[in-house]
Structure 1
Amino acid sequence: MVAKSDTAIVLMNLGSPDSTEVPDVKKYLLEFLMDKRVIDYPWLVRKLLVGGVIVPRRAEKSAEAYKSIWWPEGSPLIVLTRQLQKALQHDLEMPVEITMRYGNPSPAATFDKLAKEHPGLKEVILLPLYPHYAMSSYETAVEYAKQIHQRKRYPFELKIVEPYYKRREYINALAESMRPYVEQDYDYLLFSYHGVPVRHIRKGDITGGHCLKVNDCCHVDSKAHTQCYRHQVIITSELVAQQLGIPKHKWGVSFQSRLGKEEWIKPYTAERFESLPKEGVKKLLVACPAFVSDCLETLEEIGVEGKHSFISSGGDSFTMIPCLNTHPLWVKTISTLCREVMEPVSA
């Protein structure tokens, strides 16, 4: 066991507004959407688009959406991440903290706290709560944490847990958290992942000639897969479906949360909710593996808007499977992933 004062773990999630009030939601949206890895336009174009068009139009509607899912304790994403922190702390004899890519607590605040409370700290293991690599999620979280760490010259080393989309422990935790739902009567299981622009997939292709260029590119072996979000979510879905024994005709993949008019990776979840009843699917299960903590995108976008769309289109029953949240197997998975990157401490 690594000595308590030598190593700490930081769980990094997306983030949330501090409250459901419009000014707080505006502040959060500005920080989020001005991220050059989320909307990768030149700074001035991004500033005009985000500050002049998107945020003014979305802030009030987003605030209402947050109000509809807000818990008495606060933002579900923040509350669930703190619950995960506590659960992990029981499994490890070292400090466990949380931080957010946007909003609070920021990486600087979390690193400051660790440096102050644990002056002998040698290393911090950063685990991004994103199983899959995407420029607008995993990459921006990691690069931002690295930037803060380097700029403030903390005395401890920062180590990063790599994407774990096909790790046996993660797949097992995800599959077993879903098993009680698939053991019930249903017609179809839809894996709905957060979408990204097609441009991001092409831009992230480290080979420059594979993604969306090679026939069935996600199943043709390539170095591009190390940073290909589309490939990674498909593999996650296939492995989970295989473990749960779900036949191919009873499950599929789609992508939600599209922003703007440009082409994003397809099929779109919103369109699938409308078309599935016409294909004979009356009892639908929906899982959202891109998110490990339930949040606005699962509780409201899927659980409220998605359900309404599916039922209105002719469906009979709609069940959103909760995210991993604090499932015991997920806690053990995090522990395993973090332990693998720890430095052995000399006797």
Structure 2
Amino acid sequence: MKGVLLVNLGSPDSPTPKDVKPYLDEFLMDERVIDAPKWLRTILVRGIILQTRPKKSAEAYAKIWWEEGSPLIVLSERFTNKLKQHTQMPVALGMRYGTMTIKSALQELKDKGVDDVLLVPLYPHYAMSSFETVVVKVLEDQQKFFPQMSVTTLPAFYKNPDYIQALSESIKEGLQDFDYDHILFSYHGIPERHIRKSDPTNYHCKIDGSCCKINSVAHNTCYRHQVYDTTEMVKAYLGLPEEQVSSSFQSRLAGDPWLKPYTDYEFERLAKEGKKRLAVITPAFVSDCLETLEEIAMEGKEQFLEAGGENYKHIPCMNDNDAWVQVMAKWVNEWERTGLLDVTPST
């Protein structure tokens, strides 16, 4: 029997240091998030970061926490419940980090008789620290606890026409009644070395501004190429002027170089260059979370206005948007019928 496993990032159980600390420990100790040797990662995370970060992060979570709980969890559950209405297959939701585990989601599917699972990482783009770590963790748990199950993974869908249409229409709706003079696509940042580590050719990805434009098998796992593809396809779909659109990367850690330009620097640059009315979207996420609701919607607005901007709008993620639900339903039902997953056609 076939079933669907949706996996998103995860969340602490509450916006308190007590619950944030174990969540951050699991997240930051993931070797695909901080890809240092375990001994060094342990020193960095448990010896330094977790001494102060939980309190600060808890304060940030408290700003965006809903009465129903974590926005990311609530929105993911709403999406899951809507998807269930569009498919006959069992659908379960798990999180890569936190107490809403992948193992429990797989157990839920097993209890319903599922032995053939479609894994859907809820990330449009491939990155070690998001898409890849979900796939690795699911396969680890499947092999250890559910060896009778088979798992098929939905590929990164960053350039799928149906996804681009749903994303573009949600952006279009968010731009209604907002007289913008610039739109910033802010994507989650990753270290530059992650791009090189994910390059199967070991030579193509130079992060020099040109390699992303040269066709290569490396693009299948190149986060930078994929996010710029998404920006270009949305721009084309909506007919946005070239000079009014740019992309940037948020949420970096100190130390190693991360993908540039940095979003916080862009807020200041755009304001100082005379952009007064800024719209910001965050297409690396399908569900609003701490990074979108606090870092971009709150802190980003403050940074832009302090730098001289006058009007700022954060456009929500697709969340449980009906068009997005229907796109996912189309994919999972096609897999149920044919076993095929053609979500990344050539462009």
TM-score bracket for the superposition, by shorter chain length: over 0.9
Q: Does 1:156 align with 2:135?
A: no
1:25 to 20, 27, 48: 20
Q: Does 1:143 align with 2:136?
A: yes
Structure 1 residue ranges without an equivalent (≥5) = 1-5
Aligned residue for 2:211? 217
Amino acid at match of 1:52: G
Q: Is the 8 A contact 1:33 1:50 kept in 2?
A: yes
Return the alpha-carbon distance in structure 2 between the equivalents of residues 122 and 152 of structure 1: 12
Q: Is the 8 A contact 1:192 1:289 kept in 2?
A: yes
Q: Is the 8 A contact 2:8 2:76 kept in 1?
A: yes
Amino acid at match of 1:159: T
- Cα deviation for residue 215 of structure 1 reads 5.8
TM-score normalised according to structure 2 size: 0.95
Aligned residue for 1:248? 242
Return the alpha-carbon distance in structure 2 between the equivalents of residues 104 and 16 of structure 1: 8
Q: Is the 8 A contact 1:11 1:99 kept in 2?
A: yes
Return the alpha-carbon distance in structure 1 between the equivalents of residues 223 and 72 of structure 2: 22
Cα deviation 1:268-302 (Å, max 9, x = unaligned): 00000111111110000000000100000000000
Aligned residue for 1:41? 36
Q: Does 1:14 align with 2:22?
A: no
Return the alpha-carbon distance in structure 1 between the equivalents of residues 72 and 174 of structure 2: 22
Amino acid at match of 1:193: Y
Amino acid at match of 1:79: V
Identical amino acids, percent of aligned pairs: 48
Cα deviation 1:140-169 (Å, max 9, x = unaligned): 011100110011134332111010000001
- Cα deviation for residue 214 of structure 1 reads 6.5
Aligned residue for 1:285? 279
Return the alpha-carbon distance in structure 1 between the equivalents of residues 27 and 13 of structure 2: 13
Where 2:195 maps in the other structure, the secondary structure is helix
Amino acid at match of 2:257: E
2:171 to 178, 194, 209: 178
- Cα deviation for residue 90 of structure 1 reads 1.1
Q: Is the 8 A contact 2:175 2:315 kept in 1?
A: no
Amino acid at match of 2:265: E
Q: Is the 8 A contact 2:87 2:333 kept in 1?
A: no
1:231 to 211, 225, 233: 225
Aligned residue for 1:90? 85
TM-score normalised according to structure 1 size: 0.95
RMSD in angstroms over aligned alpha carbons? Answer: 1.3
Aligned residue for 1:102? 97
Where 2:234 maps in the other structure, the secondary structure is helix
2:252 to 244, 251, 258: 258
Q: Is the 8 A contact 1:22 1:60 kept in 2?
A: yes
Return the alpha-carbon distance in structure 1 between the equivalents of residues 304 and 207 of structure 2: 33
Taking structure 1 as reference, are residues 134 and 213 closer, same or farther at Cα in structure 2, changes over 3 Å only? closer
Taking structure 1 as reference, are residues 100 and 316 closer, same or farther at Cα in structure 2, changes over 3 Å only? same
Describe how 1:54-65 pairs up with structure 2 within 5 A.
54-65=49-60
Q: Which moved more, 1:106-115 or 1:11-20?
A: 106-115
- Cα deviation for residue 112 of structure 1 reads 1.3
Q: Is the 8 A contact 1:161 1:341 kept in 2?
A: no
Cα deviation 1:172-212 (Å, max 9, x = unaligned): 01000011233541100000000000111111111111112
Aligned residue for 2:70? 75
Q: Is the 8 A contact 1:159 1:341 kept in 2?
A: no
Return the alpha-carbon distance in structure 1 between the equivalents of residues 202 and 147 of structure 2: 36
Return the alpha-carbon distance in structure 1 between the equivalents of residues 182 and 190 of structure 2: 24
Runs ≥4 in structure 1, deviation > 4 angstroms?
none
Amino acid at match of 1:95: P
- Cα deviation for residue 124 of structure 1 reads 1.3
Q: Is the 8 A contact 1:13 1:129 kept in 2?
A: yes
Q: Does 1:123 align with 2:113?
A: no
Where 1:300 maps in the other structure, the secondary structure is helix
Q: Is the 8 A contact 2:189 2:252 kept in 1?
A: yes
